[in-house]
Amino acid sequence: MAELLVSVSTGAMGSLLCKLGAILNDEFKLLKNVNDDIKFLKDELEAMQVFLLMMAEVEEPDKQSKLRADAVREMSYDIEDSIDKFMILVEHEPSSRSDGLGKLFGKSMKKIADLKTRHKIAKDIKDIKKQVKEISDRYARYRSQGTRSTRNAKVDPQIVAIYKDAAELVGIDGPRDEIVKWLSEGESAHRQNVVSIVGYGGLGKTTLAKQVYDKLGANFECRAFVSISRSPDMAKILNSILSQFRNEDYSHAELGDPQLTIDKIRNFLKDRRYFIIIDDIWDAESWRTLSCALFKNRCGSVIMTTTRIHDVAKSCCSSHGDLVYKIQPLSAADSKKLFFKRIFDCEEKCPLNLKEASDNILKKCGGLPLAINAISSMLATGKTKEEWDHLRLSIGFARGKNSDIDTLDYILSLSYFDLPLYLRSCLLYLTMFPEDYEIEMQRLVQRWISEGLIHGEAGRDLIELGETYFHELVNRSLIQPVDIGYDGKASRCRVHDTVLDFLIYKSTEENFCTMLSSHVKSDSRVRRLSLMENEDPGSVEQLDLSHARSLFAFGFTRKYFPSLVNLNALRMLDLHGCRRLVNHHIKDIGRLFQLRYLNISWTAINELPRQIGDLEYLETLDASFTGLVELPESVTRLKRLARLFVPAKIKLPDEIGNMNSLQELWDINPFKQSLNFLEELGKLTNLRNLRIIWDSDGSDDASYKGKELVSSLCKLDASNLRTLHIEFYLTEREATLIRHPFFPALNSIREIQLRSGKLCWISKCLLSFANLQSLHIIGDTEIKQRDLDMVGSIATLLEFKLRYCRCVGPIIIGRGFPQLQKLAFYYSYMQLTFEVGAMPNVKKLDFSIHLKSFKSAGGGFDFGIQHLSSLASIRVTISCDGARAAYVESTERSFRSMAEANPNRPTLEITRELTEDMLE
């Protein structure tokens, strides 16, 4: 991992050491004594890096150590900036002319330039060496006696939840009764039952488990409750389990070897009905050890675990019939009830002038009981409007002053410090996005890469590695998944407001990201800056951005957007969605020699400067959804560009074959390009992901271009192309171009969208694609039973979506769709029936219904959902305009009945749209 190239814990130290190593490997010819100075620097910085890595594991460092770590980390950024500047000096030396006398003159000038450059580098290295020695000497003079590696000893706040009076709880009855019902039904009384409650910290997992325990405990012969924690003492925990089951005390010395204790527990439980709660499990290894002791008998015993980590919950529930219960935040009504009960006894007693502030505070709490309790305890003694308004901005201002806020901080920090260092940096990076923002995974991963936050071994696909990081944060319940696909993985995420507040606090403390709305230290250098639309223009103008590595703007205005002239250290520039930004805002983009990532999507920019070709480090250029009609020829000089995203109507340079570093290319229309371009496309042998728009728009040369395109696609398919996504806009005449064998059965074709044309025109073609996984039919086209039967015969299909289609006659789904995971009907009206045995692997159903039209089309509600044997979730969106409220409610009841009829009890999510136009 190159010891963390860039990290919240080590700054730029890992990246810097790699560059110093490259210089020492004789890649740069320097003056005689410079190599010795660089060797000294490398040795000294390696020792400092070890110190930073040790400090990263210290949750509460002493002030002296914290100051030293901050200074070393900031110094690493400054040194890397200096190293990068002289590396650019070396790489941009003037080139010689090729003619006789001019060539001799050019060589002489190059020698002079070389000497001048080497002297400047030598001076810079001397200055850096002096800076490193000064920091080392300063902290050697004030060396502290050590650091505190853990927090002050305190009682685990989860213990309070164990002894909570049920009368004080809100919103617990429903989840408790649901689990109790599950444990009391069917075969549960005769087998071992495992329930794992999973969710992020503060949701009330321990409280829920204890309430189930109290409800059912009297029916069990022996009971136990143990808490595991991040660093469990398994011998002590096993001792506690045996003591509770036998209702006797044992000393650690009496029990000795954990294996002997496990044997004692197993023998004791062999013929007994027991109930045990194993609270707060952090890893599967702890569960495997404990499960050895819990004898699997036929007495109807219950094991209940709680965890923040989804994979751990699954490992606890590995047997058929076990239940992973995903605890949900409190509803809006229950949140209000809990909040006002603690402050005023009831909502009716809340003064009118505090109503608006309370709504905003509850929104920030996001149904998190721990956050609601913490904030309400602060407001119970202070009821002025100013105090409430203060809390609108941040709940973190009371850290160290309020015990409930400290408890919340402690619970969240457990998850944070359980992360490996590289994931901490990736998580803190999310503070650059606003509250409630839906963060797209691909965009986030690309930025992580450009920032140096993702570290892979040589040859490892960094995009895939970044996606693994993203899903691991979801797995640990630190980010909330959004837009979950057929594979069960999210393509977007949100950060809970309370979690975000904690992360902003940590990020500000480490000077990792800067937000003007947070409390920025006046003496801190800005490394990463996030600008919101409502920022104070004066604050922006006063910022020194000469050390900024990242600039992220949200909806920023033209007038106050900072100039790019002095942003020499910038590596990442994200202007996505800044619709007021125009061409002149990026006219100086060619000066940003360090730039790795540039995103101008959804802006008013319609032309790129020619100087963009000078950005030789640029890896990602996202110009999608802009007014660009042509890319300058200079982009073909971008030898490191790996990802290029452009609007569909753009004309790309003919010499695209020179950009052999490209790995992803979206969304090009081949029929807008020249024949030379289509031939050059086949030279991009490193291309892994390609999205094309097949829309000839009736052009006369469509046949010629189609043949050249197919030739290049065949070459790419034989190289590294993994995913080819094609979006078709077809007329009947154009459909002949893509019929087999003219259009070959490419192995890389994974996704097809048909946006205009009939499905039957491409049916033979679809059946020939051996790896087709996703099919999306969009637009006003007829879908008949035979069309569904054809699609169902595509053995590899995992996702099938219909949007705005007209389904003719009753549709019956019985055979076919052997591997389908997700089926979606978006405003596509039909009489639909699933027969017994239909779609054996489908897990997700999505329906979007315009209820008034659905009713007039004669659609019924008995779809036979109970026959879908693997169904896990149903999502329904109801467009209510023009429909009566009673009909909306009866529709919702119908879907609830269908969900309950399915033996898997799939989750059901119902959303109403356009409720303001619903009839009384």
Rounded alpha-carbon distances, angstroms, from residue 105 to 77, 96, 119, 133, 616: 39, 8, 22, 42, 27
Q: Which helix (H) or strand (E) holds 572?
A: strand 572-574
Same domain, 269 and 214: yes
CATH number, position 587:
3.80.10.10
pLDDT beyond 70 at 106: no
pLDDT beyond 70 at 167: no
> Can you give the pLDDT at residue 212?
93
For CA atoms 811, 815, 819, 821, the dihedral sign is positive
Same domain, 304 and 205: yes
Q: Which of 344, 374, 409 is the last residue of a domain?
A: 409
What span, in angstroms and rounded, lies between the C-alpha atoms of 544 and 889? Answer: 57
User: Tokens 């730039």 map to which residue?
Assistant: 595
Same domain, 463 and 386: no
> Can you give the pLDDT at residue 98?
41
Name the amino acid, one letter, at 349: K
- Per-residue confidence band for 449, with pLDDT thresholds at 50, 70 and 90: very high
Q: How many CB atoms lie under 10 A from the CB of residue 456? A: 16
Same domain, 178 and 320: yes
> Can you give the pLDDT at residue 104?
45
What span, in angstroms and rounded, lies between the C-alpha atoms of 178 and 180? Answer: 6
Is 194 a domain residue? yes
What span, in angstroms and rounded, lies between the C-alpha atoms of 351 and 510? Answer: 40
> Can you give the pLDDT at residue 96?
37
Radius of gyration of the chain (CA): 31
Is 660 a domain residue? no
**What are the pLDDT digits (tens) for 757-781?**
888 888 888 998 999 999 999 988 8
Is 255 a domain residue? yes
What span, in angstroms and rounded, lies between the C-alpha atoms of 819 and 744? Answer: 24
Q: Which of 294, 326, 358 is the last residue of a domain?
A: 326
pLDDT beyond 90 at 748: yes
pLDDT beyond 70 at 110: no
Expressed in percent and rounded to 5, the helix, strand and coil fractions of the chain are: 45, 15, 40
Is 568 a domain residue? yes
Same domain, 183 and 316: yes
- Per-residue confidence band for 29, with pLDDT thresholds at 50, 70 and 90: low
Nearest to 166 by CA among 215, 217, 220, 227: 215
What span, in angstroms and rounded, lies between the C-alpha atoms of 209 and 130? Answer: 59
Q: For 82-91, 276-285, 790-799, which range has the lowest pLDDT when averaged over its residues?
A: 82-91
- Per-residue confidence band for 250, with pLDDT thresholds at 50, 70 and 90: low
> Can you give the pLDDT at residue 102?
47
Q: How many CB atoms lie under 10 A from the CB of residue 660? A: 13
Is 530 a domain residue? yes
Check residues 516 and 610 and name the one with the higher pLDDT. 610
What span, in angstroms and rounded, lies between the C-alpha atoms of 522 and 467? Answer: 36
Is 150 a domain residue? no
CATH number, position 316:
3.40.50.300
pLDDT beyond 90 at 101: no
- Per-residue confidence band for 782, with pLDDT thresholds at 50, 70 and 90: confident
What span, in angstroms and rounded, lies between the C-alpha atoms of 862 and 265? Answer: 50
DSSP character string of 575-590? -TT-TT--GGGGTTGG
What span, in angstroms and rounded, lies between the C-alpha atoms of 532 and 516? Answer: 8
- Per-residue confidence band for 169, with pLDDT thresholds at 50, 70 and 90: confident
Nearest to 734 by CA among 698, 709, 765: 698
Same domain, 490 and 560: no
How far apart are the two ends of the chain, measured CA to CA in Å?
62
Q: What percent of the chain has pLDDT over 70?
A: 85
> Can you give the pLDDT at residue 32?
61
pLDDT beyond 90 at 682: yes
Check residues 349 and 147 and name the one with the higher pLDDT. 349
> Can you give the pLDDT at residue 798?
96
Q: Which of 613, 647, 681 is the last residue of a domain?
A: 647
CATH number, position 487:
1.10.10
Is residue 816 packed enough to be buried (19+ CB in 10 Å), middle (13-18) or exposed (0-12)? middle
Same domain, 683 and 547: no
**What are the pLDDT digits (tens) for 569-586?**
999 999 999 988 999 999
Average pLDDT for 179-190: 76
DSSP character string of 831-891? EEEEPTT-STT--EEEEEEEHHHHHHTT--S---GGG-TT--EEEEEEE-TTSBHHHHHHH
β-partners of residue 514 are 529
> Can you give the pLDDT at residue 108?
46
Pairing of strands 490-494, 439-440: antiparallel
Q: For 226-235, 271-280, 606-615, 636-645, which range has the lowest pLDDT when averaged over its residues?
A: 226-235
Is 91 a domain residue? yes
Same domain, 744 and 813: no
Q: What percent of the chain has pLDDT over 90?
A: 41
**What are the pLDDT digits (tens) for 654-676?**
999 999 999 999 999 999 999 99
Q: For 225-229, 441-445, 552-556, which range has the lowest pLDDT when averaged over its residues?
A: 552-556
C-beta of residue 38 within 8 angstroms of C-beta of residue 82: no
Same domain, 199 and 339: no
Domain count, the chain: 7
> Can you give the pLDDT at residue 262?
92
pLDDT beyond 60 at 165: no
Same domain, 628 and 693: no
Q: 523-531 — which CB contacts under 8 Å span 24+ positions? A: 525/74, 525/77, 527/77, 528/429, 528/432, 528/451, 528/552, 528/572, 530/431, 530/432, 530/433, 530/554, 531/556
- Per-residue confidence band for 94, with pLDDT thresholds at 50, 70 and 90: very low
User: Tokens 């699954």 map to which residue?
Assistant: 314
Task: Give every CB contact of residue 465 below 8 A, 6+ residues apart in sequence.
Answer: 454, 456
Highest mean pLDDT: which range of 94-103, 320-329, 436-445: 436-445
> Can you give the pLDDT at residue 440?
95
For CA atoms 413, 416, 421, 427, the dihedral sign is negative
Same domain, 166 and 131: no
Is 419 a domain residue? no
What is the pTM (predicted TM-score) of this model? 0.86
Q: How many CB atoms lie under 10 A from the CB of residue 606? A: 14
**What are the pLDDT digits (tens) for 821-869?**
999 999 886 678 899 999 999 999 999 988 887 754 444 577 889 899 9
Pairing of strands 822-826, 323-326: unpaired
Same domain, 318 and 170: yes
Tokens of 82: 């200096």
Tokens of 651: 């004309």
- What residues make up the domain containing 598? 525-647
Mean pLDDT for the chain? Answer: 84
